[in-house]
Amino acid sequence: MSGTGNRGHRLSIGIVGGSIAGCAAVELMRAGHRVRVFERSPGALVGRGAGIGTQLSVLRSLVERDLVDADMPHLHAKNFPHVGRTTADERLGRTAWKVPITIEMLNWGDLYRNLRGRVPEDVYRSGHEMVDARMADEGTVLVRLTDGREEAFDLVVFADGYRSVGRRLLFPEAELQYRGHVLWRRILEERGLGDADPLEGTMTSVGYGEGYCVFYFVPGHAGSVAKGERWVNWACYMPLPAEELARFLTDRTGRRRSHTLPPGSVRPEEEAGIKRLARNEFPPYFGEIVNATRGPFVQPIFTAEVPAYHEGRICLIGDAGACASPLTGSGVLEGMTNAMDLADALAVHDDIDDALDTWSKGQTRTGERMVALARQLERALIWSIPDFSRMDEAAMRNWWQEAATIPEDIAPSSESRDTGQRRSA
């Protein structure tokens, strides 16, 4: 199929990656395209209890497009308190300001199950890893799997995450950049709390000397949102110089991990370190949550910028394209938005390549702004975080406005990345 003739034609589309972004393949299937999803994991994907926060408008859009059930479990947060520890040892610390927000809290596993359930079994191929993709001609993409087999498609979409094979193939110069900090995460069952009231309806930000930690409820086991059955999700950002990363990523068995430490693999002395920090620098209530948690997992934070979201008939979505810190809150939902926009572009353009060019320009611009916002939030929340316990509401409002607003004319950064190296110098 050549570049002309899109509307009314069914494309054969290969999607690499079967997680949240990959499962958005349902958008392309509903548009009449023939889709095949390749997921390298041989079994069902399992969440680690991680929470996801998204705007109500985004959740409503997913429901309207029948990507998730109308009754998918979620919890509502209406404010974002910024809290600091005080010398008076107040149990909840001092709240500088409660930022008004409207955020819906989801459990990663619930979102994945909703999407995965909409992808037919004959479309979704587990245990199939793609290692190469290349344009055979202007309208055909050849892909090669680890077993040596090759398959041809009209379009290939890489939704394979921040370590994307697709990004390396299209833009080998777009290397991952370590940002000088790591993210600790885990959940605590609500029954492990002595008092749940401080977390009701909030996403609480606890600032400390070199970073911050957020705490909020997500649906618990089997999507329960009943009080007593929810999970507390916490995520703590901690600076770590690049020269210490390899040592840090050595797990408790002595194995050198490349990019993440899964639950149960963190060395005891490192886990003891994050818990000691929480005891010493968080208000007691929040420090107790971290210390009551078992088996946290850790991911170093990387970013990547790409000049485009496609080249020929090969596309990138989600973190396979521009990859930003979780500080932005974009997360896995960005890949779903990319996929929805791609389906819309293919539906309204007569020419496939015109559709891809138009779609790519919009996604690239969004990706640039997302990475720029991540850099700005890093400075505000890690490298130059203020003492929330000493700020009044007016000062907090000014700080928040500066931290969360990206100028409309922002351009891709060519600056040397400020990843906290000055802090370790």
pLDDT per residue over 24-82, tens digit each?
A: 789 899 989 999 999 988 766 665 557 888 888 888 989 999 999 999 999 999 999 99
Per-residue pLDDT tens digits for 289-323? 999 999 999 999 999 999 999 999 999 999 999 99
Question: What is the pLDDT at residue 1?
Answer: 38
Q: Is the pLDDT of residue 7 over 60?
A: no
Q: Does position 335 have pLDDT exceeding 80, yes or no?
A: yes
Integer-rounded Cα Rg, in Å, for the chain is 22
Q: How many other CB atoms are there within 10 angstroms of residue 334's CB atom?
A: 24
Cα maximum dimension of the chain: 71
| Residue 219 CA to its chain's centroid (Å) | 18
DSSP class of 417? P
Query: Residue 71 contacts by C-beta under 8 Å, 6 or more apart in sequence?
Result: none
Question: In angstroms, rounded to a whole number, what is the distance separating the alpha carbons of residues 131 and 149?
Answer: 10
Q: What's this model's pTM, rounded to 2 decimal places?
A: 0.89
Q: Quick: pLDDT tens for 340-398.
A: 899 999 999 999 999 999 999 999 999 999 999 999 999 999 999 999 999 999 999 99
Q: Do 51-107+177-302 and 12-42+127-176+304-378 have the same topology in CATH?
A: no
Q: What is the pLDDT of residues 253-297, one digit of tens each?
A: 999 998 899 999 999 999 999 999 999 999 999 999 999 999 999
Q: Is the pLDDT of residue 423 over 60?
A: no
- Whether residue 411 is predicted with pLDDT greater than 70 in this model: the reply is no
Mean of the per-residue pLDDT values for the chain?
89
Asked if the 51-107+177-302 domain carries CATH number 1.10.3720.10, the reply is no
Under CATH, which number does the domain 12-42+127-176+304-378 receive? 3.50.50.60
Cβ-based neighbour number of residue 105 at 10 Å: 22
Could you give the CA distance from residue 165 to residue 320 in angstroms, rounded to a whole number? 8
Dihedral over Cα of 240, 242, 244, 247: its sign? positive
Burial class from Cβ neighbours inside 10 Å (0-12, 13-18, 19+) for residue 22 reads: buried
Mean pLDDT along residues 119-139: 91
Helix (H) or strand (E) run with residue 18 in it:
none
Which helix or strand (DSSP H or E) is residue 115 part of?
A: helix 108-116
Domain ranges of the chain: 12-42+127-176+304-378, 51-107+177-302
pLDDT tens-digit profile of 135-187? 999 899 999 999 999 999 999 999 999 999 999 999 999 999 999 999 999 99
